[in-house]
Structure 1
Amino acid sequence: MNIGSKVRLLHGKEEGIITKIKSGKYLEIDLGDGFSIPVLANEVVLISPEEKKIAPVAENAAPFRPRQTAPGGVVASTAFATKGIYFSFVPINDREVVLHLVNLTSWQLLFTIYGRTGANTKGLASGVLTENQSHQVTKLLLKDFESWPVFETQVLYYHPDRSPESFILEHSLRCRIQSFHNQLQKAPLLGVNAHVYQIDASSPKPRNEKIEASEIRAKMLGADNDKVAQPPLQGRLPAQIDLHLAALNEEAAGLSNAAILELQLTAFKNYLEQAIAGGLAEITIIHGVGQGTLRQEIHRLLSKHPNVANYKDAQKEKFGYGATIARLK
């Protein structure tokens, strides 16, 4: 192998050109689109110039999907796949991963992906994905895991013969170390081990759909209220939440003090998890003064949460003694 040789990874489908040879054991491979990765020399094989003469393949062709046959050998129509958009973090070595966006749906997807760190946002990738295609988004260092950005994704769906349930998908992903390792599996389409997140697991509600207060109350008071799937965030999550019933669009009529407290705490828990997932650094919880029960419960939950760095009463001049500021990790 020499600089300029075209090679393929043994344990993946990536191909590239050797740009550097280090100590005879390590190679640097240019995968194209500005991506270069270091690999062991024994982890790649040379691509023979004869390969493309035997079976020429278009550079951006989607992988072949075999047609299904019904009993009797009749060709069955391929089902239209409405779900199957994934983020796959593919380990290249013990130091780096490459993030891929994978489309297993039958939609044509127009996508944009941004990385958000605090108040700063940086464009990472954009483009069009057709059925059974993937796109390399960015390379990430594992040593910088805690400072990885929040991955903000917007997807527009298109098909000449079908109309999607919702034309746009918005998704926000902040990787957490424990859940990241739990996501390790065989990556769809790529066929290698990767940390995989499905970003279209649930259908977003149309933006103009009104959610009735009775529906929210039923979900909050359900037996499994901690497991209730929250509707996806539309735009940037506000940095504060007001837990007064009027602000939550709830009424106290007919509710006991315990039921009111449960409503407020459930709203707080849901907001806190969304704030953490959304990458907010600091949040303000307006709980009021009252008898102090709600404040005490919120402080108790904050003190036990692994993603809360610290908390304190907010400035008296602005909120009196009725609010708490929490800093998130």
Structure 2
Amino acid sequence: MKFSIGDKIVMKRTGEEGRVVAIVNKKMVEVEVAGTVFPVYNDDVDHPYLKWFTEKKSVQKKSAMPVQLPVEKLPATTRRMAKGAYLSFIPEFRTDDMEEMVSHVKVFLLNELPVNIRFVYDVRMAERSLFRLEGGLHAFGNIYLHSIPYAEMNDQPRFNWTLTAPDETMAEGIVRIKPAKLFEHITSIQQGNEPSFSYLLAAELKEKKKPEPMYEQPVAIGPSKTIGQSKHTAEQPRYELDLHIEQLRSNSKGLSNAEIIKIQLDTLERYLHLAIMHRLERMIVIHGLGKGKLRDEVHAMLKATPEVGRYKNEWSGRYGFGATEVTFRY
């Protein structure tokens, strides 16, 4: 290992000095420079002893004629991520029986927007909060939030987030990573020699909506129609959610079965979140019959949502067996 925790280092490009605070993997370490902690490749840092020796010699040497040193060609800079705010995850590896295993996952908030933001971050598991932090982040900055054990990542914690800009525009949502997807991410970054994987939270912040007045539960006319929505459809919960793809996309031609399922489950997750935010008592999810794949995926998501008290897929005159009734608990 080229570096150990506590070693003094110098950044090759900038000449800034710092120290090693963590070993990410065989090719990367985490360093602290001027109070900021961030990951770097081993090739981008060096031990500072040669720099100290060179500076000492240059002070002692008295030369009347300055020496023109060859200009070093700077390496190509790493391309910035696309505009937006991201939640970034860096796996920490440990060696167990000559095999690298993930022990913890470090979580960072990245602001690739041209404005300062305020954030509220809350990681929840079942009915409890694992970690919560509120603060500010300047434009094109990043902040280390916390470290979470890999075993807890397999329990699918919910990463709740809210971002607000000085002009009161905002965005909010939840990130939840399934165990199979987490394993896929880690395998991908190992194969691609990348330090982390990231989730885009928001490409831009939107104007904060004024609170809508309370309204009565709407009466649905048909199994594929939802009545009583305001003009801010995306911001309102639905008491009846139809997941048939033709209700979600005007043109679904060319979509694979996997893509259709993803669209349907993403829609369900979004409206579950809205229902919980508005503290709805119940909700009808229309999934149809088919081969039962969508129904099983819907039930799996409902089972993993702590706010869902119970759900039942029983025959009814309106839906047959093609819908599930959800009852929430708070």
TM normalised by structure 2 equals: 0.50
TM normalised by structure 1 equals: 0.50
